[in-house]
Structure 1
Amino acid sequence: MIFYVLIGGLSAVVTFVLSFVILKLSLRFRLYPKIRERDVHTRPTPRLGGVAMFIGVLVAFGVASQLDRFHLVFVDPGPVLGLLAGALLIVLIGVADDIWDLDWLTKLAGQMLAAGILVWQGIQLTTLPIGGVTIVPTVTGLVLTVIAVVLVMNAVNFIDGLDGLVAGVAIIANGVFFVYTYILSNGVGESEYFNLASLITVALAGACLGFLPLNWHPARLFMGDAGALLVGLLMAASAISVTGQVDPAALESGRQLLPAFIPILLPFAVLIVPLLDFALAVIRRLRAGKSPFSADRKHLHHRLLDMGHSHFHAVLIFYAWTGVVAVGTLLFMFVPFWWALAFVVAGFAVSAWFTLAPITKRKVLEAAVQRAQPGQELDPSLDPLDEAANASDPDARHDYTSKEHQ
């Protein structure tokens, strides 16, 4: 375990230092785009933080290759080289998009090419642990892998709209997934696939941790498409490495406490928020007759802001939902079923309460207005908070706003 901590820490330190360097260079040479209509931030901000994250991951892999503890990962260098080559390609595409704003078809082609490199070097689905070992035909595995990688990359990229959102969600998700892969490698037996998955998760979590201080609200540096697509690619590769190689027969042999379905369920659980946002965005845009990759301001994080949440509260809500689903799924490995289920239900209830809190407050204030002005209807053109302030307490709106933005 200590070796993983060291690798993750190294990735964090390198990313943190390089993020400062990239920030200074970006400001000096004005390497940042104009404010877009859908953006939440109000001042031009550099978007090249993904470059620092990639170098942090690259250095972490380079040092790991020199440690005996990770020798099984590098016995066959193909998957590692394919992973880093795909990551480099996706970072270059992301940087080009952050600077010149590429069209969606070019970006999609680059994403598919990066996914194809992973498949070419052996990171692909070969088996699915469904009711025993389900062998996936080569062509089918190739197609499913490319679709999965592209899906996850875009899902992560879609939620990259608030300061600290993607980095924090990735830290939580990769932390939970690392615990899973580490236990799996010890319970089933070490193999290069399991160790590779663990190495990916700690290197990526470290990079996100090192980047987060500069990305916390108000952000001084964004990871941009380069960083968001990199996070998605590495998370997808880690999940595929595990999901495609788990032998359910070994899991059910008594050496392992994991149910056979968790290798499939957990990768989706740790990515539940990005995948949900991606699915809703695609459905929304297709119904409107638009491209599924066209930009808009109707993502989940935008809706939280429109509900009345502050920037900070919206990010914490995303963290909460990710943590509840990911940790809850993992708990089924360690505690009795009903205890794990109770944690999930309680977590959902608390997260839902905080998510809907602004609506509840608004209804309470509307009711107060009705009581203060019997027989009068609210003017739909006015903010209920203004109505409440005018009807009862002139300081009501000020107090409410101050509390919401503390």
Structure 2
Amino acid sequence: MNACLQAMTAPQWWLIPAVAVAAAIVSALVILLIRPLLQKHALAKPNARSSHRTPTPQGAGIAVIAATLLIAGLAIAHLGEGLSNFPALLFGAALFVAALGFADDIKPVPVLPRLLLQAIAVGAVVVAPSCDLRLAPFLPLEIERGLLVLAGLWFVNLVNFMDGLDWITAAEVVPITAAIALLGVAGGLPLTVSLVAAALCGAMLGFAPFNRPVATIFLGDVGSLPIGLLLGWCLLQTAGQHHFGAALLLPLYYLADATLTLVRRLIRREPFWVAHRSHFYQRATDNGFTVMQVVSEVFTLNLVLAALAAFSIKAASPTADVALFAVGAAAVASTLLRFSRQRNAKAV
């Protein structure tokens, strides 16, 4: 973890809920302001990947990212001495990725240029942090950073891939960011990381009422891509604080669903970059699950994973990490298996 980032002190704990509430309010207000424009200029038409049947405005990610960066930035600036720890590079990269996502929402950007530009943004965050971060010191620094860039690029895109159902991104992001923010309150993370997580959590809560099934607005790539970058950074910093087990447990459902789907499509020689409906959460709706049933299960699973991550941090033991990861993996596997099977008609 960046040793230079400021740790939280007891009198600062109030910043976490205050930041979350402020970000929720700003996010909701900005959505109300921009929704008429998005309705005219940024309609998402149903395609092979879609779970909706009617054109719906997309671009609420503008509000989510604006609220996250604005409120987190003001809170960090409020700290005074925390200004030296301001993650300017992260904020700049998030804005860059958001602009790229917005361009892709309006007119699709070719795959290779899109990935290259995303890799530049991820690389800027991973390769040039303000302080050295080592997760695998047994590897040469260049190799470790290269692997982190690849992992970050995949995480940014998997969050985008998984944003294909009403409320599912909120069901994933809110428990993860809330857990990271609370970890900061408990003193397990630097304040800067906790503030970014709290702001993102609040901004997603402000977006959630508009995305409730049946959604009246979507995040769009302008939201899902920078959310993936910000969330990935928070998880990277969590791992850097020697909470590696927690950093893997928190996003385990998204990692499993997206990665297994990608591997399956590669084995079948399917063009993985083309819109599809083969993610487990998408197959669940095809197999008789309602949207609310899917997001409720995902949300509940993420609460379980967050609890396991908390136990992992408290235990601070490699043996406990392995055991808790096994429990989490079993819970995720059970959910994926249930999603991939036809739901009993009587149960529906």
Match of 1:8 among 20, 34, 40: 20
Q: Distance in 2 between matches of 1:23 and 1:205?
A: 21
8 Å CA contact retained: 1:156, 1:229: yes
Query: SS of the counterpart of 2:214?
Result: coil
- C-alpha RMSD of matched pairs (Å): 3.1
Partner residue, 1:223? 219
8 Å CA contact retained: 1:33, 1:44: yes
The C-alpha deviation readout for 1:326-354, integer Å capped at 9, x for no partner, is 21221244489999979x96996799489
Structure 2 letter corresponding to 1:75: S
Deviation of 1:175 (Å): 1.1
Partner residue, 1:17? 29
Deviation of 1:57 (Å): 1.1
Structure 2 letter corresponding to 1:39: S
Deviation of 1:208 (Å): 0.7
Match of 1:96 among 90, 103, 106: 103
8 Å CA contact retained: 1:126, 1:136: no
Q: How does 1:2-401 map to 2 (within 5 A)?
A: 2-27=14-39, 29-68=40-79, 71-77=80-86, 80-119=87-126, 121-122=128-129, 126-128=133-135, 134=137, 137-185=140-188, 194-244=190-240, 246=241, 263-334=243-314, 352=334, 356=338, 362=344, 400=346
8 Å CA contact retained: 1:125, 1:243: no
Stretch moving more, 42-51 or 331-340: 331-340
Task: Return closer, same or farther for 1:18/1:127 CA change in 2, 3 Å cut-off.
Answer: same
Query: SS of the counterpart of 1:126?
Result: coil
8 Å CA contact retained: 1:127, 1:135: no
8 Å CA contact retained: 2:284, 2:339: no
Task: Return closer, same or farther for 1:283/1:124 CA change in 2, 3 Å cut-off.
Answer: farther
Per the normalisation by structure 2, the TM-score is 0.85
Deviation of 1:210 (Å): 0.8
The C-alpha deviation readout for 1:55-80, integer Å capped at 9, x for no partner, is 10121133213423xx4542144xx1
Structure 1: which 5+ runs fail to align? 187-193, 247-259, 363-384, 386-399
8 Å CA contact retained: 2:47, 2:275: no
Task: Return closer, same or farther for 1:112/1:361 CA change in 2, 3 Å cut-off.
Answer: closer
Could you say which structure has the larger radius of gyration? 1
Task: Return closer, same or farther for 1:347/1:119 CA change in 2, 3 Å cut-off.
Answer: closer
Structure 2 letter corresponding to 1:114: A
8 Å CA contact retained: 1:320, 1:351: no
Q: Distance in 2 between matches of 1:18 and 1:30?
A: 16
Task: Return closer, same or farther for 1:328/1:314 CA change in 2, 3 Å cut-off.
Answer: same
Structure 2 letter corresponding to 1:74: L
Q: How many residues align?
A: 334
Task: Return closer, same or farther for 1:119/1:353 CA change in 2, 3 Å cut-off.
Answer: closer
Deviation of 1:184 (Å): 4.2
Structure 2: which 5+ runs fail to align? 1-12
Q: Distance in 2 between matches of 1:228 and 1:321?
A: 21
Query: SS of the counterpart of 1:122?
Result: coil
Q: Distance in 1 between matches of 2:329 and 2:232?
A: 26
Task: Return closer, same or farther for 1:121/1:64 CA change in 2, 3 Å cut-off.
Answer: farther
Deviation of 1:276 (Å): 0.9
Task: Return closer, same or farther for 1:336/1:156 CA change in 2, 3 Å cut-off.
Answer: closer
8 Å CA contact retained: 1:125, 1:141: no
Task: Return closer, same or farther for 1:296/1:361 CA change in 2, 3 Å cut-off.
Answer: closer
Task: Return closer, same or farther for 1:334/1:61 CA change in 2, 3 Å cut-off.
Answer: closer
Task: Return closer, same or farther for 1:361/1:272 CA change in 2, 3 Å cut-off.
Answer: closer
Structure 2 letter corresponding to 1:143: G
The C-alpha deviation readout for 1:81-107, integer Å capped at 9, x for no partner, is 101110001101111111112222122
Structure 1 letter corresponding to 2:64: M
Q: Distance in 1 between matches of 2:261 and 2:113?
A: 20
Per the normalisation by structure 1, the TM-score is 0.74
Q: Distance in 1 between matches of 2:90 and 2:335?
A: 40
Partner residue, 1:190? none
Task: Return closer, same or farther for 1:167/1:360 CA change in 2, 3 Å cut-off.
Answer: closer
Query: SS of the counterpart of 1:65?
Result: helix
8 Å CA contact retained: 1:125, 1:144: no
8 Å CA contact retained: 1:170, 1:208: yes
Q: Distance in 1 between matches of 2:262 and 2:279?
A: 11
Query: SS of the counterpart of 1:127?
Result: coil
Task: Return closer, same or farther for 1:146/1:358 CA change in 2, 3 Å cut-off.
Answer: closer
Task: Return closer, same or farther for 1:346/1:47 CA change in 2, 3 Å cut-off.
Answer: closer
8 Å CA contact retained: 2:288, 2:342: no
Structure 2 letter corresponding to 1:19: I
Q: Distance in 1 between matches of 2:29 and 2:146?
A: 38
Q: Distance in 2 between matches of 1:282 and 1:354?
A: 14
Task: Return closer, same or farther for 1:231/1:357 CA change in 2, 3 Å cut-off.
Answer: closer
Partner residue, 2:7? none
